[in-house]
Structure 1
Amino acid sequence: MNPLYPIEWAVSWLMVKFHAVLSVFMEPDSGLTWVLSIVGLTVVVRTLIIPLFVRQIRASRAMQMVSPELQAVQKKYKGKTDQASKQKMAEETMAIYKDAGASPFSSCLPVLLQMPIFFGLFRVLYNKLPDAAEGAGFGPLTPELARSASNSTFFGDITIADSFLSPGDGGITTRLVAGVIIACMCAVTFFTQKSLTMKNMPKAALEGPMASTQKMMLYMLPFIYVITGPGMPIGVLIYWLTTNVWTFCQQYIVIQAAPTPGSDAAKARQERINAKREKKGLEPLDFTPPKKVSTEPEPEQPLRVQPPSKNKGGKKLSDQEKLERARAAREKAAEERRAAQEAAGETPTPPSSGSSALNKGAKKKRKK
């Protein structure tokens, strides 16, 4: 059983329904009518996966924002090949992904989801359409509609089933149209990838292995179209070009409305907002994020008391030097007491020398 059968059936049904709607005010057997039916099919598919596209943008942004942290983890465990270090590196890497809400697979999800639709449309145009035109209808694609799609032409003798390698009756015209479509696909993809990786990313995220991979993809994706495009039917190339243009416009809107903080796109948005405010006579807004102020009291730092040195200068004090230092400290304390008494309005105690105190004590002993 063909696993793509449900997708092929749904693709045929959507294309036939759009053809029926367009046939109300357009020629049913015109090739342009069938081309616009494929465009309508693309619009429906891309509309259904808008949530996935937004998730892809956020995932790609988060992946590049955490690039410096991932580089730090890789540098930390560089050269360590033991199992424990590998496990710790994997755990720290997953913790970074989790904290940032990033996933290496989310950015690929919309592309992977479109691949079955892409191959389904390719099989419908390349296989089902010729078979249905010969009498073997395929679901909603009746033999009459299949013959109309196969024989209807635009730009001369070009049909949606022709390709660059199989130009049919169109000849050089088919190859020229296919070449123009492929060139447009390459250009749109290049500018889409460039705006995502260069304009919408801060400078810190444009360094490291991940940024190098993104720059490589900037040139690899258009090159893939050059290789695969010539073998695709014109109808598939139209679907491909339409979805690329849709991606570019959708991404442009997202970047204009919600750019990555710190990127060139964010700075341009700030300048646009302040320019509008200036025209209205308003003060410019400061987009610098305020510093976080903690409401919790800071923990008291333990005081470090320097223990008194018993032997300053590396010299042992003599008894006479110790006595002199003790007298100096006693006199200083007495001076401080007198100053405190004067400040309080009391009569200061007259200074008494150590020798007079000793003499008084000696006289008392003699009297006894």
Structure 2
Amino acid sequence: MYPYLAIAFPDLLKPIVDVMTVVLKQIDAVTHSYALSLLIFALLITVVLWPLRHQQYKSMAEMQALAPHLKRLQQKYKGDAQKLQAEQMALYKEHGVNPMAGCLPLLIQMPILFSLYRAIFADKDAFGTAHFLWIGSPLATAFPKIVAASLAAPDVVLLALYVISMYFTVRYSSPVTDPQQAQQQKIMALISPLMIAFVGRGWPSALILYWLAYNVFSTAQQIYLMRTLKHSIPPPAEEPASESKAEPSKRQQKRAANK
């Protein structure tokens, strides 16, 4: 998906692409290894996006803490959509939560991620002869349909590793407590990697290598944030039991006495 979007908006993304191209070339000038440069570049992008990701997961943690409150409001105002919306907004205001705050960091990240495709391919000569572990090794001659001869060619093994990393990223990056959401997450964890496997089978291994590294780094970042982020939103107070439930009726007392 990302390559096609990057191609669709070349002029709009050009300033970001130019900056990324310069940074990638500077890293390559130091490492003299295009594969290593991609790994360092992926780590650098992960670090740059840290504040946005932190805000995104902070908002997710707050919304998750508010989920029981929202569920109670939905039950209480089931037949009054207008009142429900008003109470939900009051709840957000009370706890200082913006329900759209988690979307903004994601939207800001998208142009950066779209630009990476063009930045990586700005210097085709660099990765046209670049090797990485098994890529460009004698295995490429023995298994040309599976192993790439260079980072410019598709590599089945690298794509498979990326697909596996995608599964774990989607499956475990955003823990949910709602059973319906958990089921949807399981489905997405299967569908997303399959889509990547289908669409990315012709992508150069240089791009897949970057995405694999970025996926590993960002997933580690997500796990850290989920374990360390705290919120101050208490669980909803338990509703007092109704009088009929709290105290047995006279009929029930009489039956109990007869026994």
TM-score bracket for the superposition, by shorter chain length: 0.5 to 0.7
1:39 is aligned to: 39
Q: 1:111 to 1:229 in 2, by over 3 A?
A: farther
Q: Distance in 1 between matches of 2:62 and 2:184?
A: 15
Aligned to 2:115: 120
Query: 2:128 maps to which residue?
Result: 150
Q: Distance in 1 between matches of 2:207 and 2:171?
A: 25
Question: Aligned-pair distance for 1:112?
Answer: 3.2
Question: What residue is the counterpart of 1:172 in the other structure?
Answer: 146
Are positions 1:188 and 2:197 aligned together? no
1:10 CA displacement: 1.2
Summarize the Cα distance change of 1:240–1:13 in structure 2 as closer, same or farther, 3 Å threshold. same
CA distance in 2, matches of 1:151, 1:185: 22
Match of 1:315 in 2: none
State the SS of the aligned residue for 2:155: helix
Q: 1:177 to 1:236 in 2, by over 3 A?
A: closer
Give the drift of 1:116.
2.0
Post-superposition Cα deviations, 1:123-162, rounded to whole Å, max 9, x if no partner, equal 3445x44xxxxxxxxxxxxxxxx4343233444548xxxx
Letter paired with 1:107: G
Q: Does 1:9 align with 2:18?
A: yes
Structure 1 spans left out of the alignment, 5+ residues: 24-32, 130-145, 159-168, 262-288, 290-368
Rounded to whole Å, the distance in 2 between the matches of 1:96 and 1:182 is 45
Instruction: Give the counterpart of 1:235 among 175, 186, 206.
Output: 206
Q: What is the match of residue 76 of structure 1?
A: 76
Q: Deviations over 1:257-290 (max 9, x none)?
A: 45789xxxxxxxxxxxxxxxxxxxxxxxxxxx9x
Q: Which protein has greater RCO, CA pairs closer than 8 Å, 6+ apart?
A: 2
Cα deviation for residue 22 of structure 1 reads 0.8
Give unmatched runs, 5+ long, in structure 2. 1-9, 138-142, 235-259
Classify the secondary structure of the residue corresponding to 2:148. Answer: helix
* Residue from 84, 93, 102 that aligns with 2:88: 93
Aligned residues between the structures: 215
Could you state the TM-score of these two structures normalised by the residue count of structure 2? 0.67
Paired residues of 2:57 and 2:226 also in contact (CA < 8 A): no
CA contact (8 A) 2:166 2:215 kept: yes
Q: What is aligned with 2:54?
A: 54
User: 2:156 & 2:35 partners in 1: Cα distance?
Assistant: 17
Query: What's the RMSD between the two structures over aligned residues?
Result: 3.4
Following the alignment from structure 1 to structure 2, what is the Cα–Cα distance between the partners of residues 182 and 106? 33
Q: Could you tell me how far apart the structure 1 residues matched to 2:212 and 2:182 are?
A: 26
Which structure 2 residues correspond to residues 228-307 of structure 1 after superposition, within 5 A?
228-258=199-229
- Amino acid corresponding to residue 93 of structure 1 in structure 2: Q
* 3-state SS in 1 of match to 2:220: helix
1:18/1:37 contact within 8 Å kept: yes
Superposed displacement of residue 245, structure 1: 0.6
Q: 1:233 to 1:100 in 2, by over 3 A?
A: farther
Q: Within 1, Cα distance between the matches of 2:90 and 2:183? A: 23
Say whether the 8 Å CA contact 2:166–2:192 is kept in structure 1: yes
Whether 1:223 and 2:232 are equivalent positions in the alignment is no
Preserved contact between residue 11 and residue 117 of structure 1 (Cα < 8 Å)? no
User: Which is higher, the Rg of structure 1 or of structure 2?
Assistant: 1
Contact 2:147–2:156 (8 Å) recurs in 1: no
Q: Deviations over 1:335-363 (max 9, x none)?
A: xxxxxxxxxxxxxxxxxxxxxxxxxxxxx
Equivalent positions of 1:324-363 (< 5 A) are: none
Contact 1:73–1:93 (CA<8 Å) still a contact in 2? Answer: yes
Give the Cα–Cα distance (whole angstroms) in 2 for the partners of residues 97 and 235 of structure 1: 44
Q: Secondary structure at the match of 1:227?
A: helix
Q: Percent sequence identity over matched residues?
A: 28
Give how far 1:88 is off.
Answer: 2.4
| Greater helix share, structure number | 2
Q: Shift in Å at residue 180 of structure 1?
A: 2.9
Which deviations, in whole Å up to 9, do the C-alpha atoms of 1:218-274 show, x marking residues without a partner?
43433342233224322221221112111222233334445789xxxxxxxxxxxxx
